[in-house]
Chain A
Amino acid sequence: MSERLDVKKTYKLLVNGAFPRSESGRSYPVMSAGGDFLANVAQGSRKDLRDAVVAARSAQSKWWAASAYNRGQVLYRWAEMAESRGAELAEHVRVAEGLAAKDARASVARAIDRLVWYAGWTDKVAQVLGGANPVAGPFFNFSLPAPSGVVAVVADQDSSLEGFVECVAAPICVGNAVVAIASERRPTPAITLAEMTVTSDLPAGVLNVVSGVTSELAPHLVVHEDVDGVDLTGAGAAGDDLARRAAASIKRVYRPRDDENPLRRLRSFVETSTVWHTIGQ
């Protein structure tokens, strides 16, 4: 009886509901917080980002066309999936961030609670960010929040799961589709969580995750003209430069602040459309 061979997982991209390798054929080794080899992870390229944006663009209209209630159910199911695989996620977070097991479990619990929180927001955004406006005439006038479209996310580099959830769930909650660049050094918790969207009824392409070298990928994503907004949470010192580049194609840019208001993310990738309707007709 021979000894069983290890089955090593190579982490791949999530693009349009599938798990391709990078078109470039590259991968890179990811280390644990302690410096041990953890896994090989696909090293995405600008062409992977291009494919992801195409997928996100075509998925976004379908996602936004779903009822707000349904979007909430789907996000909640994603949280359910994460809950049932919580131990696995906690192990990923523990190894990636070098936390104690208890702290890693707590971090996963907060991340899942955050997903549930956003799931609850899907059908409340309209009430909070929209409204009925008083106008001088026999008309109803409504302000309705609508998603920006395709949002590029440079995910948090340090907080591998909680930070990732925060960056991607907020834009998805309000109806955007997301192309996220996972944390460069700690991608495995995010990739594992993203894999669960495929069993959560999240339409293919609503969340796309590309792993790789952030400084290589982010510049291509922020200048992509078919991206409507960028979240530069994980951009670090390159944030100023990336924000300037994003301005060339007039994108919404989100950058974290120290005095963070939890609703600012939710509001960041929302447009407002105004609708008039006659009264009494």
Chain B
Amino acid sequence: MSIAPLRPIEIRDRGVLVPALIAVPGFRDEGELRRFVGALSGVDAVGVEGRVAKLATRSLKKSTKATAIDLAISMVDLTTLEGADTPGRVSSLCAKAMRPDPADATVTSVAAVCVYPDLVALARSSLGDSPVAVASVATAFPSGRASLEVKLLDVRDAVSAGADEIDMVIDRGAFLAGHWGRVFDEIVAVKAACGAAHLKVILETGELVTYDNVKRASWIAMLAGADFIKTSTGKVGVNATLPVALVMLEAARDFAETTGRVVGVKVAGGIRTTKDALRYLVVVNETAGDAWLDPACFRFGASSLLNDLLMQRRKQRTGAYVRPDEYSGD
């Protein structure tokens, strides 16, 4: 099928790109979806890994690094997804999201805080009218093993509590069993339940086994209406990796070229150091292009990463390495 390439549309709401209503291919049945997604070219695993290995060695000049650190801070979804989350922990996280470095007002706020649905209302009220968005995981996060009714209820609950962004998980079991249509329909249903909230679709790439699967799942999610595709929940052994991010960014780039709709990419889990974050930004720039170097199009789901970014930022300014316990743990 051929779709005339459209230009990415730059409408923003709370710093997030609003999906433009465009003509994605309509699928009458699972067979059509299967034919479309199955016809995507395969991923050259060796090539992808070689490419990221090469990009990871790229050095950044000092001024570029300073800019990149500030950009990375503005892209952080400051996350706490623990069973032991307390209201106090969430409100201190929100304070940190709004003013990451209490000693330095020039540090920008992060993109969002990411919490479980029952803590959305608290996060919403803690953040007040700041530009920081509230993201909530939903759809029986992290396993996604619940009926569609329960998942939709979970989403509506989070949205009505004030979530600006919903991080849903795909049904990996269905995907791996080949029921791509079910995965697609579920995302469509969740997207409808989100209303005005933006939808991030977690592929849980650590469970998808191959890069080809990552590419297919990325396309299915984007075709079904995702505003973001996200690597991982952070709850399984394998989290975000550079090669997986590259595959997803290529998919997002190709999708934008095909349909004109820009879908963001969020990497999550295991990204702890500034060096890691800068490597991701290099891959973003070299793969999708600088249009994605924006909190509206690229995010880091992380908690401890923010402290390292702040430490490196101060190191860049003062020349002295910083004491980690100068920055709060959560």
Q: Which residues of A contact B (CB under 8 A)?
A: 50, 53, 57, 220, 223-226, 248-249
Contact = CB atoms under 8 A, between A and B. Distances in A.
Interface in B78-119: none
Contacts of B319: 223
A167 B270 CA distance: 38
A224 B323 CA distance: 8
A50 B315 CA distance: 12
Interface of B: 319-324, 326
15 contacts: A50-B321, A53-B321, A220-B321, A223-B319, A223-B321, A224-B320, A225-B320, A225-B321, A225-B323, A225-B326, A226-B321, A226-B322, A226-B323, A226-B324, A249-B323
Nearest to A248: B320
A224 B324 CA distance: 11
A223 B326 CA distance: 15
A196 to B, nearest CB: 29
A57 B324 CA distance: 10
A225 B323 CA distance: 5
Contacts of B324: 57, 226
A80 B321 CA distance: 37
Nearest to B322: A225
Contacts of B320: 223-225, 248-249
Contacts of A224: 320-321
Contacts of B326: 225
Q: Which 8 A-B pairs have the closest CB atoms?
A: A223-B320, A225-B323, A226-B323, A224-B321, A225-B322, A50-B321, A225-B320, A225-B321
Given A223-B320, A223-B321, A248-B320, 18 more contacts: A50-B321, A53-B321, A57-B324, A220-B321, A223-B319, A224-B320, A224-B321, A225-B320, A225-B321, A225-B322, A225-B323, A225-B326, A226-B321, A226-B322, A226-B323, A226-B324, A249-B320, A249-B323
Identify the interface centre among B319, B322, B323, B324: most chain A CB within 10 Å of its CB: B323
Nearest to A228: B323
B316 to A, nearest CB: 13
Contacts of A50: 321
A224 B318 CA distance: 11
Contacts of B323: 225-226, 249
Nearest to B320: A223
Contacts of A225: 320-323, 326
A224 B311 CA distance: 12
A220 B321 CA distance: 8
A50 B326 CA distance: 17
A57 B319 CA distance: 20
Contacts of B322: 225-226
A253 to B, nearest CB: 16
Nearest to A54: B324
A248 B322 CA distance: 12
A220 B322 CA distance: 12
Contacts of B321: 50, 53, 220, 223-226
A57 B322 CA distance: 12
A248 B320 CA distance: 10
B109 to A, nearest CB: 25
A249 B319 CA distance: 12
A248 B321 CA distance: 12
A236 to B, nearest CB: 22
A225 B320 CA distance: 7
Nearest to A49: B321
